[in-house]
Amino acid sequence: MKTRTYLPGIALVLGIAVLSYFLSTINASFDPLVISIIIAMLLGNVFARKDYFQDGIEMALKIFLPVGIACYGTQLSVHELQGAQLLSILAVFIGLFGFTLLIARTFNINLKASVLLASGLSVCGATAIAVISPLIGARREDTSIAIISVMMLGLTGMIFFPLVSELLALTKGEFNFLAGTTLPMLGQVKVAAGSVCPECLAEAVRIKLIRMSFLFFLVTAAVFISGREKKTVTVPWFVIVFVLLAVLSNVTNILLQWNEQLKALSSFCLSAGLAALGFTVDFDSIIEEGMVPLGAILFSWGVVMLLMYLVRNLF
């Protein structure tokens, strides 16, 4: 009886996830998470009978998002946390995170949405938002708008960076640093870097991976921040698994052979989870938020890049 109740929702979510996965393979810049949330939002608000899918979607949310987060632990690598650029990357990361948080608060965006925007912009876009949002108990609308806004920003960066590089006559190293530190999503880094030169790709991706590893600390911090709000720190099971898998994959080689599968599973599960999330979000509430979050992160992003440009020219 229950299975029948859950089935339509779970099936729909899985279907969207599969579709997103295949669509994402068309181009590196296509992020399955973003595609799934957009498809789910369009379906949920335009066509679907919500009641019919409601229970399954709620169940999918409870299943796929934690699993996806837990599995994502394997994608974090601390091996790259070394080298000369680490401090610079950290500085840009802190700058982006802090400034975004400040600007978002100035724009009257609520604290949780601000944290999501800052995380998404400074770490790894949709993934980071998907991971952080259950931890801080963010509203679904905030999660959706944060993902779409960060995506929009990333795409803009991806398209304009080669042009900017050309105009400012950036060296390859500089371009790599710019793309790696400021583009939110890995696919976008790949496209941007790939369009400039094939050898740039590896370096930019390396920098981006370093940024991604900061997610580990961010997750930990988010757990404690949320715990402080609630007065008691309760660590969810998926975070424990996430940390465990991250430690395992960095310390041992046990998971190395399952790495690709786990990566695909993580991406798929997060995709499904976000599809479920997008399905439950009311378009109206997102529309009411408007372009303010995008405006806020664009402003903060622009300021940080301007600072970087100034630093480059001064030193």
| Residue 158 is a binding residue for another protein (CB under 8 A) | yes
Site string for another protein, 84-113 (x = CB under 8 A): ------------------------------
Residue span binding another protein (CB under 8 A) among the ranges 110-118, 143-151, 171-179, 222-230: 143-151
- 85/165 with CB nearer another protein: 165
Nearby residues of 37 by Cβ (< 8 Å), 6 or more positions away: 126, 144, 147, 148, 274, 275, 277, 278
**Binding residue (CB under 8 A) for another protein from 38, 92, 178, 277:** 38
- Piece of the chain touching another protein by CB under 8 A; list 78-86, 233-241, 259-267, 282-290: 282-290
26 binds another protein (CB under 8 A): yes
Kindly give the residue spans of alpha helices, DSSP state H, lying in 43-85: 50-72
303 CA to centre of own chain: 21
What span, in angstroms and rounded, lies between the C-alpha atoms of 141 and 126? 14
CB 301 within 8 A of CB 95: no
Q: To the nearest whole angstrom, how small is the minimum distance from the Cβ of residue 46 to another protein?
A: 12
End-to-end Cα separation, the chain, in angstroms: 68
Binding status of residue 294 toward another protein by CB under 8 A: yes
Q: How far is CA 140 from CA 41, 89, 161, 286, in A?
A: 11, 30, 31, 10
Contact pick of 90, 152, 221, 235 for another protein (by CB under 8 A):
152
Residue 110 or 156 having the CB closest to another protein? 156
Among 284, 302, 306, 310, binds another protein (CB under 8 A): 284
Should residue 286 be labelled a site residue for another protein when binding is judged by CB under 8 A? yes
Of these, 86, 240, 251, 291, which contacts another protein (CB under 8 A)? 291
With CB under 8 A as the contact rule, the residue among 40, 89, 135, 151 that binds another protein is: 151
Q: Which has the closest alpha carbon to 122: 188, 179, 80, 184?
A: 184
Distances 109 to 21, 29, 45, 102 between C-alpha atoms, Å: 32, 28, 24, 10
Stretch that binds another protein, among 72-80, 249-257, 287-295, 304-312 (CB under 8 A): 287-295
Size of the site for another protein (CB under 8 A): 27
Smallest gap, in angstroms, from Cβ of residue 41 to another protein? 9
Q: Does residue number 290 form part of the binding site for another protein (CB under 8 A)?
A: yes
Residues 6+ apart with CB under 8 A from 54: 9
195 binds another protein (CB under 8 A): yes
Displacement of CA 270 from its chain's centroid (Å): 10
Q: How many CA atoms lie within 13 A of 70 on its CB side?
A: 13
Closer residue to another protein, CB minimum distance, 164 or 265: 164
Residue indicated by tokens 């934690």? 66
> Helices (DSSP H) in 123-171: which residue ranges?
125-136, 140-168
The CB-of-16 to another protein minimum distance in angstroms stands at: 16
- Tell me which residues touch another protein (CB under 8 A): 26-27, 29-30, 34, 38, 148-149, 151-152, 155-156, 158-160, 162-163, 166, 191, 195, 284, 286-288, 290-291, 294
